[in-house]
Structures are given as C-alpha cells and as structure tokens.
Amino acid sequence: MRIRRATLETCHTATGTVVAIDVIRAFTTAAFAFAAGARDIVLVGEVEEALALRERFPRALLMGEVKGVQPESFDLGNSPSALIGLDLAGRRIIQRTSAGTQGVVRSTQAKALLTSSFVCAGATARYLMKQNPASVTFVITGAGVGTDGDEDAACADYVQALLRGETPGAAPFLQRVRNSTDGRFFAQMPPRFPMSDLDCCLSVDHFDFAMVVERQDKLLLMRAIH
C-alpha cells in the first residue's frame, strides 16, 4: 500500500483511494452527526449548492460554516459538541465547510473516497486494511494560507502508523493538534471556538465506524460504515 499526501491545491490529481482529513472540525462534526443518528451526509463545496439541495430534499438539515461561522440559512454549525444530545435519527445532512468538504469535492479523480478525523481514526485504518488498496492519499485539508494543517497531518501520521501494524501512543499526535494553527485558536481569550469542541476533536477512536463517500445520483453521499 503506497501512501501519499496532498492538499486542497493538489488533491485534484490524487487517484486510487483518497482520505480527506479535517480534525478541526468538519469531520469530527460529521462523526458526531452520525452518532446522533444521521442517515447520511451529502458533502458540497458551496453554500448555494447546499441551499439548492434543500429544495430537493426538504427534510434535510444544512450543517457547516463559512470562515468558521455558521451561515444564517443553515440549521447547524460546525461544532461537534453542539450535536451531543441531539436526535438526528434518519435525517439527511448537507454539509459545507471551508476545508474538509472541499477536500472531497476537489478529489475528482479518486477511485474511492473516505473522510476521517481522530474520533474514527482506528476504524478508518481497519477499513483501509480490509479494502487493501494499492495506494492511499491523505488530503491534509487544513494546510493553506496562514494555517499549517498539522492537526490533520498528525491524524494522517497516526492512521499511517496503524496501517503499518504499529500501536502508537496517541499523546504526541494530540499535542500536535493543540499546537497547530487551528488548535491555538482554542488558547485565545476568548477562544475562537468552544473549548468543548477541542475536547471532541481530541477524543481518539471515540467511534467505531469509518466514513465512506460514494458518488450517487451526482451527489457525494457519505455514510458511517461499522
């Protein structure tokens, strides 16, 4: 299994199996949505696309952010802790974020697509080992202008270690999350995001499912696979 890395700027060239990683916070939030009962999540790149899909799927809930802020037209933001205790049983979610969902939308040449974060890292590795693809490309969605994306690179390193059959301790990887550009937002006073979100993002292997994306009816449809 060959392992490669890509960013939002290069993932359009990635082939084989692609895993888009967004620890803070898109694919942590998505995992908590599945845990709250969401049936599936449609991933989109633009707010306008999300709004158009709500016309097509009237019971769907819009979830996500633009520059970290929940659009007024959306039902849910990009906060995993805000989903704890919600009942989303059977609901379709349409998710748009500035980094995570972009990594999926832009990976147009991928043969297979997954998303991941620390909360489902182990399940992601087990799914990949079962599928045994020839190549896996981790998309470090947080790496961009003004952000180092090391929270996502740390998650990729953790999953890669699991794929090598190692049993890595989580602590060094989670410290990288805290020290990353986005992780330091939580150390600001007041924090840019709720501190409870960081707790969620640092909860390693909290869920026993991988998040697999399929192209279906011109949609990027994600489901939790146990």
| pLDDT score of 146 | 86
One-letter amino acid of 191: P
> pLDDT, tens digit, for every residue of 59-80?
999 999 999 999 999 999 999 9
> Does position 159 have pLDDT exceeding 90, yes or no?
yes
Total tally of structural domains belonging to the chain: 1
Residue 145 pLDDT > 80: no
- Note the pLDDT of residue 204: 98
**Mean pLDDT across the chain, nearest whole number?**
97
The CATH number covering residue 88 comes to 3.90.1560.10
In sequence order, which ranges of the chain are alpha helices (DSSP H)? Answer: 26-35, 47-56, 100-105, 121-131, 150-163, 171-179, 195-201
- Lowest mean per-residue pLDDT among 44-53, 86-95, 188-197, 217-226: 188-197
- Please state the pTM of the whole predicted model: 0.97
Separation of alpha carbons 57 and 137, rounded Å: 32
Q: Which residues lie closer than 8 Å to 84 by C-beta, 6 or more apart?
A: 32, 36, 200
Tell me how far apart the alpha carbons of residues 168 and 170 are, in angstroms, rounded to a whole number: 6
Phi first, then psi: what are they for 100, rounded to 5°?
-55, -55
How confident is residue 187, by pLDDT bands cut at 50, 70 and 90? confident
CB 152 within 8 A of CB 22: yes
Q: Does 7 have pLDDT greater than 80?
A: yes
Give the separation between CA 77 and CA 192, rounded to whole angstroms.
Answer: 14
Binning pLDDT at 50, 70 and 90, where does residue 192 land?
Answer: confident
Give the sign of the dihedral formed by CA 216, CA 35, CA 211, CA 220. positive
Structural domain boundaries enclosing 15 = 2-225
